[in-house]
């Protein structure tokens, strides 16, 4: 038998959880944690589920409670589960997603695969980005539309990659491009490497391979050294997107595309304005309920002041680099 403890939380808390953090070190064995929405498109209505081999006591409950401060004095729901493979059962409730030419599923729910799609297997659990949320689906549709228009991408990065899903999708669309994925959470980078192996994506630094780094924003020598990028994907949150505007804009090549998501309709104009100040214009918008995906393009500059910076292929144009 196993036990499940459930507490309410916010999306921000769910994304900030360190699934291998010090709060859980005192628990042996450590519980398995899963987070999910309880009300679609409501960032205040999420929940944290902790699975234990034995009934959780006061110490276990207190440790889990520290992960979600908004739960306050909310009474945890503790229930005994039948002797089943509950991890597979929990993932079987995640429906596959068909977005453009992509079909995303878990190992527990492959469903009926449509003809002519690229399948990607992404497990729910330690990192975000299974394709089920509008932000991820909107990015997949935006990438698909770019490829359908014949846009060429030679050097791309997925910032805040989560599970690696968007990086894998972009690599499928532009298989000879240099590709990079990064996340502030080292666990997400580990998960991306695991998912890369599942989906046949090669890790490495060459064309058609995926380079990985754990870093806040672009604060890593690998990420700086591989710039400028002609495609940047950042599916995070509105606040971090605004904070990252100077560095992401500087890392984007002239004429390059920036795809941003993780923002609500009411936040879209403020995010777009943050990038307009750095020479980007809003080129498109993919509406997905309350969660739009924005596509921005960097305006070209000309003249003697145009600077150059080496890229992965030995050359590249990169005006306006800052101190990032």
Q: Residue 3 CB: number of other CB atoms within 10 A?
A: 17
Across 15-19, 21-25, 202-206, 239-243, which has the greatest mean pLDDT? 202-206
Mean pLDDT of 195-216: 96
C-alpha–C-alpha distance, residues 117 and 198, integer Å: 17
**CATH architecture for segment(s) 133-298:** 3-Layer(aba) Sandwich (3.40)
Residue list for the binding site: 136, 160, 183, 235
Report how far apart, in Å, the C-alpha atoms of 166 and of each of 70, 196, 253, 269 are.
30, 11, 20, 24
Report how far apart, in Å, the C-alpha atoms of 245 and of each of 143, 274, 324 are.
20, 6, 11
What integer pLDDT is reported at residue 23 of this predicted model?
62
C-alpha–C-alpha distance, residues 120 and 66, integer Å: 34
Tens digit of pLDDT for each residue in 30-67? 787 778 888 877 888 999 988 888 899 998 999 999 99
Locus of tokens 């034995």: 54
What integer pLDDT is reported at residue 124 of this predicted model?
63
C-alpha–C-alpha distance, residues 9 and 15, integer Å: 10
Q: What is the mean pLDDT of the chain?
A: 84
In terms of C-beta density within 10 A (0-12 exposed, 13-18 middle, 19 or more buried), how is residue 195 classed?
A: buried
Q: To 10 degrees, the CA torsion angle through 48, 262, 150, 250? A: -120
What integer pLDDT is reported at residue 30 of this predicted model?
74
pLDDT higher at 227 or 97: 227
Tens digit of pLDDT for each residue in 233-286? 999 888 899 999 999 999 999 999 999 998 888 899 999 999 999 999 999 999
Phi, psi of 115 (to 5 degrees): -70, 145
The beta-strand segments (E) located in the chain are 2-9, 32-37, 46-52, 77-81, 97-99, 102-105, 118-121, 155-159, 178-183, 210-214, 229-235, 252-261, 280-286, 293-298
pTM of the model: 0.69
Percent of the chain with pLDDT over 70: 82
DSSP string for 44-107? T-EEEEEEESS---HHHHHHHHTT-GGGTTPPPEEEEE-SS-HHHHHHHTS--EEETTEEEEBT
Residue list for the binding site for S-adenosyl-L-methionine: 136, 160, 183, 235
C-alpha–C-alpha distance, residues 77 and 72, integer Å: 14
- Both tokens of residue 41? 């498109």
């Amino acid at each position: 038998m196993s036990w499940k403890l459930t507490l309410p939380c916010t999306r921000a808390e769910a994304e900030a959880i360190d699934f291998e953090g010090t709060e859980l070190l005192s628990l042996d064995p450590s519980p398995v944690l899963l987070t999910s929405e309880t009300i679609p498109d409501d960032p205040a209505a999420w929940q944290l589920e902790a699975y234990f081999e034995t009934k959780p006591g006061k110490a276990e409950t207190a440790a889990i409670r520290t992960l979600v401060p908004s739960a306050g004095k909310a009474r945890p729901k503790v229930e005994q589960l039948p002797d089943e493979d509950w991890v597979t059962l929990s993932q079987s409730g995640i429906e596959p997603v068909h977005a453009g030419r992509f079909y995303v599923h878990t190992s527990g729910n492959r469903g009926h695969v449509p003809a002519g799609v690229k399948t990607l297997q992404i497990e729910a659990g330690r990192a975000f980005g299974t394709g089920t949320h509008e932000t991820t689906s909107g990015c997949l549709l935006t990438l698909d539309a770019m490829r359908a228009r014949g846009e060429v991408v030679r050097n791309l990065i997925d910032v805040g990659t989560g599970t690696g899903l968007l990086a894998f999708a972009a690599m499928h669309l532009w298989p000879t491009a240099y590709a990079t994925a990064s996340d502030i959470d080292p666990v997400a980078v580990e998960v991306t490497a695991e998912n890369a192996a599942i989906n046949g994506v090669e890790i490495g630094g060459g064309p058609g391979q995926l380079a990985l780094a754990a870093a806040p924003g672009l604060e890593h020598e690998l990420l700086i050294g591989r710039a400028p990028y002609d495609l940047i994907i950042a599916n995070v949150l509105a606040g971090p997107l605004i904070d990252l505007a100077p560095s992401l804009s500087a890392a984007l090549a002239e004429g390059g595309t920036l795809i941003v998501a993780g923002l609500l309709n009411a936040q879209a104009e403020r995010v777009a304005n943050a990038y307009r100040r750095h020479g980007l214009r809003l080129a498109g918008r993919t509406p997905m309920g309350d969660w739009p995906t924005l596509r921005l393009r960097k305006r070209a500059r000309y003249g003697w002041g145009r600077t150059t910076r080496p890229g992965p292929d030995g050359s590249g144009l990169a005006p306006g680099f800052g101190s990032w």
